[in-house]
Amino acid sequence: MTMLHKQRGSTLLVALVMLMLLTLVALSAMNASTTSIEVVGNAQLREEANAAAQQVIEGVISSNFTASPASSVVAANVGGTNYSAVVAVPTCKSTVPIVNSELDPNNPSDTVCLSSGSIQNTGVMNASGVVSTAQSWCYQQTWEVNATVNDSDTGANASVHQGISLRVPAGTDCP
């Protein structure tokens, strides 16, 4: 037998080993892409739950929630998915008096808060007749609203905390 005749089976063996290695590389790539798709899908569900919680908080803020703060369960639809958000009782964190010097007499939303300059000849009034060091007719309140979304179908959950600063009439304290 010649040397060429003895080595004919080794080519088949090398080809099978290479085919096996290529199959393992392809399976590994498929597993990695499947995992990546799952991660992206979970991130999308989490962001939708976050958007639902934010949407619910914006709805609470746009209502007169300071009149009688209460917890609630609110439905929100984001991306075609219905979420149920639990809104905790909004809490008032602080009430701070506003001084006239912090207000702009040219701003219509500030003019309702400016107290009049009833003191005469003190030299502390500005050109608009407002005592700049006097307390205004408004307070600045800081509130916190929390919403939590837990979706049992997808397992997505999110918790959003929103701080709100708003003006209230003088004498209004935190409830």
CB 135 within 8 A of CB 100: yes
Tell me which of 8-12, 13-17, 103-107 is least confident: 8-12
More confident residue, 127 or 31: 31
Confidence at 128, pLDDT banded by 50, 70, 90: low
pLDDT band at residue 6 under the 50/70/90 scheme: low
- Please state the pTM of the whole predicted model: 0.70
The backbone torsions φ and ψ at residue 33, rounded to the nearest 5 degrees and listed phi first, read -70, -35
97-106, 114-123, 147-156: range with lowest mean pLDDT: 114-123
* pLDDT 10s digits, 51-106: 999 999 999 999 988 888 999 999 999 988 889 999 999 999 999 999 888 888 88
